[in-house]
Amino acid sequence: MTGQEPAVQPDPAASPYLSLRQAVQPAIVAHGLLAGDQERAEKLAAECEDLLLLTRELLKTTGQIHILATKDDHEIPHEHGGDRRAQLLDAYADAGMLWAKVVGSSVALASMLLDQGDTDEVRRLANFFTGAGEENAAAYLRTQLGKAIWEMYREHLRGISNKMPPGEIRKTIDALQAVLREVPEDFPDRNPSVNRLLPPLAASIHAVMKNRNIRVSYDSRVEHIAMGGVAKYPDIVKMSLDELSAEFENAYR
């Protein structure tokens, strides 16, 4: 034993903001937005620029941590005083604060993107934060994303009834499938909300089948769903909707 304190080594698992691949992901979105549309609103462009600057500072601090953690004491300049361990801890603190600013700036950017209806980029940011271990930020973005998508289809979903003509049935199926596809699965009440709309949809499909003298097969669940038979089973909502879509398609083959 030399009595010298062991070097503080960076732990990517405990400090996700130190992973370069993760840290630059929000910046990739910002670069894409700036390059993809030079005529975007000034506020959005400014938010992107702020995010890029924050990411640059974060990467510089991360580089400093790498140097401090891997070089010998005699290789490290001490212009500002203090020992190597203190410098390293300060760099960790700086990186943590910068990462928090990157996350906050990304959330603000996502809010502006949702206002413009750009849901795909917000989904990308949410996925980035999930991968970086920022579950709170990811969950918040997924919730805001779910609200925005529900709002996109709200007017049509309000018009669902048990007496819809074929054209409206098709639009309703498309809208509900889009909700299940685009609204994050962990969005509160997603499946139960869609499930509650299936009985009137099924009743409309059943009425169309009767008007066209189409016999309902013995294994069909269209009548069961129309009578509210799936009300207690939101976990199978996608399967139920797919079955109704297939029944409707078969009626118009």
Task: Report the C-alpha gap between 240 and 207 in whole angstroms.
Answer: 18
**Would you say residue 165 has pLDDT above 90?**
yes
Instruction: Say what percent of the chain tops pLDDT 90.
Output: 31
Q: Does residue 59 lie in a domain region? A: yes
Judge contact between 124 and 29, C-beta under 8 A.
Answer: yes
> What pLDDT, on a 0 to 100 scale, did the predictor assign at position 3?
40
Helix, strand, coil share (%) of the chain residues, nearest 5: 70, 0, 30
Instruction: Classify residue 163: in a domain, yes or no.
Output: yes
- For residue range 92-108, list pLDDT tens digits in order: 666 666 677 777 778 88
User: Across residues 56-72, what is the average pLDDT?
Assistant: 63
Pair 248, 222: CB distance under 8 Å: no
Q: What percent of the chain has pLDDT over 70?
A: 61
> Does 29 have pLDDT greater than 70?
no
Co-location of 110 and 202 in the same domain = no
Burial of 4 (0-12, 13-18, 19+ CB in 10 A): exposed
Closest alpha carbon to 20 in 55, 70, 47: 55
Residues 181 and 238 grouped into a single domain = yes
Structure tokens, 175: 């809208």
pLDDT tier at 162, thresholds 50, 70, 90: very high
My answer on whether 23 and 120 are in the same domain is yes
Q: What average pLDDT does the segment 217-240 reach?
A: 91
Contact 16, 132 (CB under 8 A): yes
182-206: per-residue pLDDT in tens?
999 889 899 999 999 999 999 999 9
Structure confidence at residue 217 (pLDDT):
83
Is a pLDDT exceeding 90 seen at residue 170? yes
Measured between alpha carbons, how far is 10 from 65 in angstroms, rounded to an integer? 7
| Domain contains 5 | no
Q: Which domain covers residue 196, as residue numbers?
A: 159-251
